[in-house]
Amino acid sequence: MIQELIKVALAARERAYAPYSRFRVGAALLTSGGEIYRGCNVENASYGLTCCAERAAVFNAVVSGERKFQAIAVVSDSDDFCTPCGACRQVLAEFGGDINVIMCNNKGEYAECKVAELLPGYFTLDPDADKPGHCTNTDCTNTDRR
Ligand SMILES: [Zn+2]
């Protein structure tokens, strides 16, 4: 399944819109039901509006009714493993710290770990809790919100 995810991510990378950085990224997100959703980075002349491939894949899946994910593969053109940025780590964590992240290089090699390992103490909100939010890092001493 990992090889299939990488293959889909590579195909998604071909759709990347990256005229400014020329750093093309593709992502393939596997749902708990076995469906795969693609994402690519979409840059903008107003750089801050750029959206990464990982978030594009998550949003693509969510708009299709998916909310439970097993894994995501991320590929770029780089020799280095392509790791999700901080924003994408938080967006992935929204759907579970145990999502497997498969970070690939341009040689087809990869490293993998869980979202919670990439973003320890990621922020969560419990929709039923009295408090507005909390940090998932149990070692953090500043977890109470005012
Ligand atoms: Zn990102």
Contacts of 112 (CB under 8 A, 6+ apart): 2, 100, 101, 102, 103
Q: Are 46 and 70 in contact (CB under 8 A)?
A: no
Give me ligand 1 centre to Cα 32, in Å.
22
What does the pLDDT look like over 51-60, one tens digit per residue? 999 999 999 9
Give me ligand 1 centre to Cα 54, in Å.
6
Better-predicted residue by pLDDT, 136 or 142: 136
Q: Are 106 and 77 in contact (CB under 8 A)?
A: yes
The whole-model pTM stands at: 0.88
Fold topology of 2-119: Cytidine Deaminase; domain 2 (3.40.140)
Mapped onto helix, strand or coil, the DSSP state of residue 105 is coil
Q: Are 75 and 23 in contact (CB under 8 A)?
A: no
**Among 35, 43, 54, 112, the one annotated catalytic:** 54
Give me ligand 1 centre to Cα 130, in Å.
31
Residue 54 designated active-site: yes
Give me ligand 1 centre to Cα 29, in Å.
14
> What is the average per-residue pLDDT within 106-116?
95
pLDDT band at residue 35 under the 50/70/90 scheme: very high
